[in-house]
Structure 1
Amino acid sequence: MEFRGLRQTTILSFFTFCCLVHHLYGDIEKTNNDTNPIIVEDQVHVGVILNMGSREGKIILSSISMALSDFYHLHNNYSTRVVLQSKDSSGEPLPALSAALGLLENMKVEAIIGAQTRAEANLLAELGEVAKMPVMSLSPLLTDKKYPFFVEIMRTDQAAEVKGISALIEVFKWRDIILLYDNKEYERDFIPSLVNSFQEITHGSVAYRSSNIASFSSNEEIIEELQKLMNLKIKVFVVHVSHLLVPRLFFHANKLGMMSEGYAWIMTSTSMNFLHSMDLSVIESMQGVLGFKSSIPASMSLRSLTSRLRRQFYLEDPTMEATREFSTDVIWAYDASWALEEAVERTRTKGSTNRSSNHGVVLLREILQAKFKGLSGEIRYPNGKLISSGFEIVNVRGKGERRVGFWPCEEEIFTKDRRNALSINNLETVIWPGGSSTIRKGSKRRLSGIKLRVGVPVKKGFKELVHVYHDLHSNRTHVTGFCIDVFEAAIRGLPYKVDYELIPFEDANAGLVGSYNDLLYQVYLQKFDAVAGDTTITSNRSLYVDFTIPYTDMGVGMLVPNVVKENMWIFLEPLSANLWLTSAGFFILTGFVVWVIERPVNEEFQGSASQQIGTIFWFSFSTLVFSHSKRSTRLLLAQLNIF
């Protein structure tokens, strides 16, 4: 009985197992026949090229990784998965390009995020064009060349920022400003616009432009340049340099006493956006600095990301200094990752999962069509650039900065009067270097101890432009001409007095020592502070010196009297009366010669005297309006006799 019971139990268990298998098989078959198929993940490889040796690069990579985790946690039904392939660029363009090539060939990446410097951005943009692959960059380009596959994922509304700085200068009525900028990276786009904007305001003019220091400059070079700026006795600085230069720049400025009361420093968003990624010692040396920072609205999601990043880096390195906020690049990279992941999913749902020749074009189109609310505000990339949401005007105080005002984006500026967009009333109290809340207004004064050495070309012709002559009786050299008048008028228009000396560029025989290139090169060698004369702006010369805006165009022209005669005979004006008579005489002579040749053999040239004279005049003047189709009879017979 026990054996039989065991046997029944075994049979029952086997029957139950078969029913279970049938039930499962039925469910699987039902699932396969259902309208919603089983989700099969399609992996899409994306390259991330950052300076992994820097703290900023590590934070950005962690932000991108968290963006992927958050995105797919919210969209777990998506059929695609972005897989990150990170590479170290070491902050240099060539390693960045090499890393991108390796990712493209070995990992078949379909997009790249990174490019923290302009040099890296340029090389990766070129690669993106060749490979037809979107490149999402954290830095703008060095050139104006258009790259359709290049997408700027950071906000760089330079036109609006330039107007904001000009408005700030006008609010505080500063008259003389020093521009301190990196000549290698930032002069081409930002500085000319800023100088032009200063010319539109009542107060403020550029007294001096300093471009002799960069992120690769030595400490001795930085100190030497700052000491030269101190001697100018001008205490208002507009700084547009890389954030890599900021720590050493303000460390030495603070050491030289240039962060004391009376000084004013204004920084652009290029470096101000990275303030929270700098060490506390750097921030302490920047106390009182006023700057523009890309606006990032506060939100619970932003606090959550900041808290998670801070916790992650604390677990990795408990000795690392805690960061209250992160740079805007971290937030922009997070939002760009969401845009890329959404674009990848749309490309897979709209087309084939296999990579085709035009897949990069489709993926780029989906990225440019992205539109959502991100951590940094509204995310859209029209024309390959992230739209701007305006700038915060912040004042460095304590361990960070304090917001004292807001400057809207360019579109909002043009909807109202720029002068009303910023005023002293809608700015909170600014604490300047030295702890003072008041700043001395600019005034017209003489730059003591400074005398400009201005080189002048010596030439033989065109004395109306520049003329150098020596008065032997008074033993004095006089320099005159239109170019000199323009230079002296510009000096008189400055808000301060400047002493200058016009020095002819001549040899012992009162002749030009070299060419105009040699003359301008003396400015680069610091033997002259400037050159006044009829010098032409060329690309080669622009590598060594700065030019003013052209004040005249020495092209080819025509001078005509401004007199208009309204009569029917105006067509006779181009030729004189004697020339008209001479032409008429030759026409009559031609008709007479033809009459002499044709009269014996051509009946049309025979008849009465009046008919023959009429034929002569008719033949002469008829050539003005048409060409005779018949050849002269006598001439035709002469040609036949030849043969």
Structure 2
Amino acid sequence: MERTPRAILFLLLLLLVDPGVAQNTTTGKADEFHVGVILDLGSLVGKVSRTSISLAVEDFYAVHQNYSTKLVLHFRDSMASDVKAASAAIELLDNYKLQAIIGPQKSSEAVFISKIGNITKVPTVSFTATSPSLTSDTMPYFVRATLNDSAQVNSIASLVKAYGWREVVLVYENTDYGRGILPYLISALQESDVHVPYQSVIPPSATSEIMMQELYKLMTMQTRVFIVHMSSTMTSLLFKKAKEAGMMDKGFAWITTNGVANIIDSLNPSVTEVMNGVLGVRYHVPKSKELDSFSIRWNRMYQQDNPDESPFNKLSIVGLRAYDTIWALAQAAEKVGISSAPNKQPWSIKNSTCSESMVISPNGPKLLAAIVQNKFRGISGDFDLTDKQLKVSVFQIINVVGRGWREIGFWSVKSGLSRQLNQNGLKTAGSASMLDLNPVIWPGESTEIPRGWEIPISGKKLRVGVHTSNCPEFIKTFRDPVTNVTSASGLSVDIFEEAIKRLPFALTYEYLAFDTADTATTGSYNDFIYQVYLQKYDIAVGDITVRYNRSLYVDFTVPYTESGVGMIVPVKENMIKNMWIFLKPLSTGMWFGSIIFFIYTGVVAWLLEYLNGNQHVHGPFSLKQVGITMFFSIFEES
């Protein structure tokens, strides 16, 4: 009887001396909640996300030490391959019986993995897959912890309209990521009465030469406003070559989508320097003390994880979304817990492959419901996945200046464009206009708003050869002795210039005279045409006759004048003045035969009428009878 109180006292003393024993015991009983994390660990986004995810797990369970579940992360490197990403998902599902999958980095990877998740009922949560084609209708177990690319198109269209631009050129890479936004962006621009005369498609394997060729093509057009939707690597190459081509000077305007604007802080300073004057649309992250504290700890941990990485890599919205995603999943895991029900086989595993041995997660539907119902205020802002993706809130408009950027304004669904943001929402001064935004430093360090179009003055000009004609009405050339510039006039020149105006793009050209007085080279039209074949001229304009021998060297347009074919007939003066010229169409024999046939017809008609008892033809022969006979020869029908 006395030993029992002593035992209780001993246990109480033990807890007072070492309180950590009980805590560790509780923590050690936490159920492991296995989660697969599939990222391209060699990319900037993958490295930033890995640090944020690891830090999120530490922070969450430091705050919630008494939770009965704990996320156990299994990282795998997709190496930017859809096949390797899907293979990693199958391997993790088979070996660790995953409860959830995080991070298919690319939209194409998310498609593969989400289909596997649909079969196994394992939720897939991605904070980087932004393709609008990924929907919950076809992928019920896919959750997008970010916005899709189509959410930003209205902000871009409003920005273009605010500056009064009527035409823009879309520059995008030929991938699923590049093409996915096009229908939504073009539709939003058209609603704002903005025309898209050309779409520049850049292959993902484009070299510097291919990029320069496309940029030179853009320079020959009148439009000077470009919207860029490309990966950070392709965007960096594009702007470096645009700088070399002179397209980062005054008069040009560039807008980048959030794919690059979100990570502008992590780009190499050499890239941001050539992007001076570029506008960008990015997600808005509200400032807070928690964010400042987290940024300091994140930078320290990132340098520890990546000691060889560039010190310019900074925390971006991608890292913040990754952090909040872990918190949302950890809270959902605690709410659902670890099910004791055995996993179900989706089909018979007899003679099965690895993919056929995957089991259905009994917790899948409950975990999915807990994730989408979880709402909280995260580091990145309001985190609400009710619609299986974040809701459109506020976009930030930035202007790249020097090695950094400055804030121009904001955009929201309710208020449109605005210069300031306060606690009550966006302050607007009326309709969306450029006056509602902060001043912009445009390319070329200009403060003047680009017109959006101009006649191209750079790039290769069309060399137009001209030849003075014996008929100056067709073409006449003249060279200014002061400026040494050749000018031309005449019908042929007018037609050529009118054709240039009707082209759907601007084309610069210059006249090169073939036969002016101060030109040493003179010759015939054959020599003139041959200069095109020798590539001294790009085109020849003039009153040039289409001939077979010339068509062997050049191509002719459709003639725009009459062919000149006619018939020459000699004229006799005496015949023109002769009053009997009307008799010339018939010969004498023809006239004699016609008269005989005329008389014959009249006599036969008179005789038939006489035999039929016509009283008008009876009686003695007289002029009356002759008149009747002539009447019959003309009007009688036999």
| TM-score, length-scaled by structure 1 | 0.61
Corresponding residue SS for 1:383: coil
1:185 aligns to 2:176 (yes or no): yes
Q: Is the contact made by 2:30 and 2:68 (CA closer than 8 Å) also made in structure 1?
A: yes
Matched residues, percent identical? Answer: 35
Q: What does residue range 451-466 of structure 1 map to in structure 2 within 5 Å?
A: none
Structure 2 unpaired stretches of 5+: 20-24, 345-360, 418-424, 463-499, 506-638
Rounded Cα–Cα distance in structure 2 between residues aligned with 1:374 and 1:125: 25
1:395 aligns to 2:418 (yes or no): no
Q: Is the contact made by 1:288 and 1:431 (CA closer than 8 Å) also made in structure 2?
A: yes
Q: What does residue range 266-415 of structure 1 map to in structure 2 within 5 Å?
A: 266-316=255-305, 320-323=309-312, 325-348=314-337, 352=340, 357-409=361-413
Q: What does residue range 155-554 of structure 1 map to in structure 2 within 5 Å?
A: 155-156=147-148, 158-159=150-151, 161-186=152-177, 188-202=179-193, 204-211=194-201, 213-316=202-305, 320-323=309-312, 325-348=314-337, 352=340, 357-409=361-413, 420=430, 422-442=432-452, 498-499=502-503
TM-superposed deviation, 1:354: 6.7
Q: Is the contact made by 1:243 and 1:272 (CA closer than 8 Å) also made in structure 2?
A: no
TM-superposed deviation, 1:398: 2.1
Distance of aligned partners of 1:232 and 1:365 in 2 relative to their CA distance in 1, 3 Å threshold: same
Distance of aligned partners of 1:182 and 1:330 in 2 relative to their CA distance in 1, 3 Å threshold: same
Corresponding residue SS for 1:245: helix
TM-superposed deviation, 1:291: 0.9
Q: Is the contact made by 2:147 and 2:391 (CA closer than 8 Å) also made in structure 1?
A: yes
Rounded Cα–Cα distance in structure 2 between residues aligned with 1:61 and 1:130: 27
Q: Is the contact made by 2:145 and 2:321 (CA closer than 8 Å) also made in structure 1?
A: yes
1:60 aligns to 2:49 (yes or no): yes
Distance of aligned partners of 1:354 and 1:285 in 2 relative to their CA distance in 1, 3 Å threshold: farther
Q: Is the contact made by 2:132 and 2:181 (CA closer than 8 Å) also made in structure 1?
A: no
Rounded Cα–Cα distance in structure 1 between residues aligned with 2:277 and 2:10: 72
TM-superposed deviation, 1:200: 2.7
- Provide the residue aligned with 1:115 in structure 2: 104
Distance of aligned partners of 1:191 and 1:419 in 2 relative to their CA distance in 1, 3 Å threshold: farther
Distance of aligned partners of 1:275 and 1:353 in 2 relative to their CA distance in 1, 3 Å threshold: farther
Distance of aligned partners of 1:188 and 1:306 in 2 relative to their CA distance in 1, 3 Å threshold: same
Rounded Cα–Cα distance in structure 2 between residues aligned with 1:433 and 1:416: 28
1:148 aligns to 2:152 (yes or no): no
Letter in 2 for 1:23: L
Q: Is the contact made by 1:157 and 1:410 (CA closer than 8 Å) also made in structure 2?
A: no
Rounded Cα–Cα distance in structure 2 between residues aligned with 1:144 and 1:424: 34
Rounded Cα–Cα distance in structure 1 between residues aligned with 2:2 and 2:241: 84
Rounded Cα–Cα distance in structure 1 between residues aligned with 2:306 and 2:109: 29
Q: What does residue range 11-90 of structure 1 map to in structure 2 within 5 Å?
A: 21-24=7-10, 40-90=29-79
Letter in 1 for 2:9: H
Q: Is the contact made by 1:174 and 1:441 (CA closer than 8 Å) also made in structure 2?
A: yes
Rounded Cα–Cα distance in structure 1 between residues aligned with 2:341 and 2:293: 34
Rounded Cα–Cα distance in structure 2 between residues aligned with 1:55 and 1:184: 19
Corresponding residue SS for 1:239: strand
TM-superposed deviation, 1:65: 1.0
| TM-score, length-scaled by structure 2 | 0.62
- Provide the residue aligned with 1:467 in structure 2: none
Letter in 1 for 2:210: E
Between the two proteins, the alignment pairs up a number of residues equal to 433
Corresponding residue SS for 1:382: coil
Letter in 2 for 1:277: S
Q: Is the contact made by 2:249 and 2:443 (CA closer than 8 Å) also made in structure 1?
A: yes
Letter in 2 for 1:166: A
Q: Is the contact made by 2:267 and 2:313 (CA closer than 8 Å) also made in structure 1?
A: no
Q: 1:171-197 deviations in whole A, cap 9, x for unaligned?
A: 211232111112332465422222222
Distance of aligned partners of 1:324 and 1:119 in 2 relative to their CA distance in 1, 3 Å threshold: closer
Q: 1:105-160 deviations in whole A, cap 9, x for unaligned?
A: 1121111111111211111111111111010112134735621100111123624x
Distance of aligned partners of 1:78 and 1:497 in 2 relative to their CA distance in 1, 3 Å threshold: farther
TM-superposed deviation, 1:418: 11
Letter in 1 for 2:265: H
Q: Is the contact made by 2:282 and 2:396 (CA closer than 8 Å) also made in structure 1?
A: yes
Corresponding residue SS for 1:499: coil
Rounded Cα–Cα distance in structure 2 between residues aligned with 1:417 and 1:18: 72
Let me know the Cα RMSD of the aligned residues: 3.5
Letter in 2 for 1:428: N
TM-superposed deviation, 1:317: 5.3
Distance of aligned partners of 1:498 and 1:163 in 2 relative to their CA distance in 1, 3 Å threshold: farther
Rounded Cα–Cα distance in structure 2 between residues aligned with 1:403 and 1:178: 24
Rounded Cα–Cα distance in structure 1 between residues aligned with 2:504 and 2:42: 50
Q: Is the contact made by 2:240 and 2:271 (CA closer than 8 Å) also made in structure 1?
A: yes
TM-superposed deviation, 1:54: 2.2
Corresponding residue SS for 2:228: strand
Rounded Cα–Cα distance in structure 1 between residues aligned with 2:442 and 2:430: 24
Rounded Cα–Cα distance in structure 2 between residues aligned with 1:97 and 1:498: 52
Distance of aligned partners of 1:151 and 1:444 in 2 relative to their CA distance in 1, 3 Å threshold: same
Corresponding residue SS for 1:387: coil
TM-superposed deviation, 1:23: 2.7
Rounded Cα–Cα distance in structure 2 between residues aligned with 1:176 and 1:450: 23
TM-superposed deviation, 1:336: 0.6
Letter in 1 for 2:192: I
TM-superposed deviation, 1:165: 1.6
Instruction: Indicate which of 104, 107, 121 corresponds to 1:132.
Output: 121
Distance of aligned partners of 1:381 and 1:421 in 2 relative to their CA distance in 1, 3 Å threshold: farther
Rounded Cα–Cα distance in structure 2 between residues aligned with 1:169 and 1:337: 37
Q: Is the contact made by 1:269 and 1:294 (CA closer than 8 Å) also made in structure 2?
A: yes
Rounded Cα–Cα distance in structure 1 between residues aligned with 2:501 and 2:186: 20
- Provide the residue aligned with 1:479 in structure 2: none
Q: Is the contact made by 1:215 and 1:244 (CA closer than 8 Å) also made in structure 2?
A: no
| Structure 1, 422-431 or 20-29: larger mean CA deviation | 20-29
Corresponding residue SS for 2:238: helix
TM-superposed deviation, 1:233: 3.8
Rounded Cα–Cα distance in structure 2 between residues aligned with 1:325 and 1:234: 35
Q: Is the contact made by 1:118 and 1:142 (CA closer than 8 Å) also made in structure 2?
A: no
Q: Is the contact made by 1:389 and 1:408 (CA closer than 8 Å) also made in structure 2?
A: yes
Rounded Cα–Cα distance in structure 2 between residues aligned with 1:129 and 1:447: 56
Distance of aligned partners of 1:205 and 1:416 in 2 relative to their CA distance in 1, 3 Å threshold: farther
Distance of aligned partners of 1:171 and 1:109 in 2 relative to their CA distance in 1, 3 Å threshold: same
